[in-house]
Amino acid sequence: MRTILVAFDGSPPARRALRLASEIAHAMGARLNLVHVVTPAKVPPDMQTASAELDRENRKYGEQLLRDAARKARPEPVKTTVLVGAAAETLAEAALAPGVDLVVIGSNARRGVSRLLLGSVSGKLVHLCEKPVLIVR
């Protein structure tokens, strides 16, 4: 195993996923690539300037989130990447990079109507991703 891609949004499930991915990477001699996905704001055309500013701030937040997480992850060095797009689709595309052998993502385990209305990035990723996906609760 060469590289483990870890989806990271700072949530408790994402922190658990990072912890497990770190253990696997250490045991297998693999590298970690922490990825945060920023979903662009959807706004009316007359609010594009505000939307661009919001997207910049969200990207800066993601970069800081990944820097903080990378300091706690092992083994080092940890690569960090902020991507822009729809979360599941963007993660599946990132997993196509050469050397990525596993994708690890946290799940908040939504049930019922909440899952139906809000969807599940991890569930969608399992269907889209060509690489193995490990979902951590």
68 pLDDT more than 60 = yes
User: pTM for this structure?
Assistant: 0.89
Burial status of residue 70 (CB atoms within 10 A of its CB: 0-12, 13-18, 19 or more): middle
47 pLDDT more than 70 = yes
107 pLDDT more than 50 = yes
48 pLDDT more than 80 = no
Structure tokens at 3: 């590289």
**Max CA-CA distance within the chain?**
52
CATH architecture for segment(s) 3-136: 3-Layer(aba) Sandwich (3.40)
| Predicted local confidence at residue 62, as pLDDT | 97
Q: What is the mean pLDDT of the chain?
A: 90
